[in-house]
Amino acid sequence: MRATADIDARLFDGQSSRPRPVTLTIDGDTVELRDRDGDTPAEQLPRGALDWQEPLGGGHRSAMLPGGRRCEFATGAALDRFLRACGHRETAVTRWQRSALFAFAALLLVLAGLIAAYRWLLPAAAEGLAALVPEHSLQALDRELLASLHTSEVLAPSRLSSATVDGMTRLGRGLLASHPGTSLHIRSAPNIGANAFALPGGSIVLTDGLLELADDGREVAAVISHELGHAQARHGLRQLLQASIVAVTIGLWSGDFDSVLTLAGTVLVGASYSRAFEYEADALAADHLTRAGLPPSTLASILARLATAGGGDGPRYLSSHPPTPERIRRLRAMDASGQRESDG
C-alpha cells in the first residue's frame, strides 16, 4: 500500500524574504509541491529530495529543497503523518528531545552543573582573582566601605570611654605593627551588636558590643588576631567576589566603587564564612597569638563563652563566625601542642 499524506507549509525560495503558502502531497516515492495561490505550476520532486533539518523549537520544522529553497512546517499531528509517509526516521537526538525522561535528565544535569560551578569553580575563580587585586586598590576600597557604612548608619563613632578606646587602639597597633596596611577601627554598631569583621584591605572593625562582652584585653587580642587571619587570606575579598564576581572585579580594576559599595557592605558585615575559612583564620590567629606570648586557647575561650550566651549580643557575632565545637577543640589542641613543644 502506497503511503499518502499532504501538509501545508511556507516556502522560502531564497530570492524573496516573503514566504509563499504551499501544499506538499506525498504519494509513494513522489512529492508534489503546489502553490496554494495557483500562480505557479505544481512541481514533482523525489521523496529523497526533502532534506529534513533537526527541530530547533519554536513550534516549527524545516526541510531543504533543491535550489536552496526551504519549506517551513508547523509541528503537530499533520507533520507527524507526513514524516511517516515520507519514511523519515528521526535521529536519536530528536527522539531524546521529545522524551520527558530526557528533559528531566537534562534538567538534573544542568542543576548538577550549576551546583558544581557554585561549589568548586566559583570559589576557585574568586581565589585566583583575589590574588591579583593590588593592595592599593583594596585599601582604597576599605576607605570607601568605611565611609559608606557610616553614611548608612551601620557604623557610628564609639560610645565607649576614651580611655577604653585608646587602650584597645594601642593593643591593636601592637598586634598589627608587623602587618603593613592593616588598621583597627572601634565603632558603635547597635544594629549588628557584638561583632568584628575584616575589610578586604586589612581594616579590622571591632564593635563596642564585642569590647563590652570580652573579659579582658587578651580576648580582644584573640579576636583581632582572628580577623587579621581573615584579612591575610583575603577571605572577605574572596567572599565578595563570589557574591558578584563580575561587578566587583570590574569595579576594583576600574576604580569605580559606587556600583559595588552597597553589595560589599552587606556581604562583608554579614559574612558567614565557610568552615574552611574559619579553620584557616584560626590557624593564622594561633600563630599571631603565640608570637605575642598568648595561648591560642584565648580565642577558644571567648568563642565558647559566646556560644553559650543565652541572649544579648553574643549570637550576633556567632552568626558570622560560627564557633563550632570542632573549632574550639582544634584551638585548644594547638595550645596543648605548643605547650608540649616548649616543655620539650
CATH of 4-97, one of 3.40.190.10, 2.30.29.30, 3.40.50.11540, 3.50.50.60: 2.30.29.30
pLDDT of 39 reads 74
183-188 β-sheet, strand order: 156-157, 183-188, 203-207, 196-198
pLDDT score of 267 more than 70? no
* CA angle, residues 250, 252, 255, in degrees to nearest 5: 95
pLDDT score of 281 more than 90? yes
Q: What residues does each domain of the chain span?
A: 4-97, 99-132, 134-343
Q: Where would I find the beta strands (DSSP E) of the chain?
A: 4-12, 20-27, 30-35, 43-46, 51-52, 60-65, 69-74, 156-157, 183-188, 196-198, 203-207
pLDDT category of residue 314 using cuts at 50, 70 and 90: very low
pLDDT tens digits, 47-65: 889 998 877 655 688 999 9
pLDDT of 115 reads 72
pLDDT of 287 reads 94
Output the nine-digit C-alpha cell for 184.
Answer: 583597627
pLDDT score of 106 more than 80? no
Say what percent of the chain tops pLDDT 90: 47
pLDDT of 264 reads 60
Instruction: Please state whether the predicted TM-score (pTM) of the whole model is above 0.85.
Output: no
pLDDT tens digits, 165-219: 999 999 999 999 999 999 999 999 998 888 899 999 999 999 999 999 898 999 9
Q: What is the mean pLDDT of residues 278-301?
A: 93
pLDDT of 296 reads 93
Q: Are 45 and 66 in contact (CB under 8 A)?
A: yes
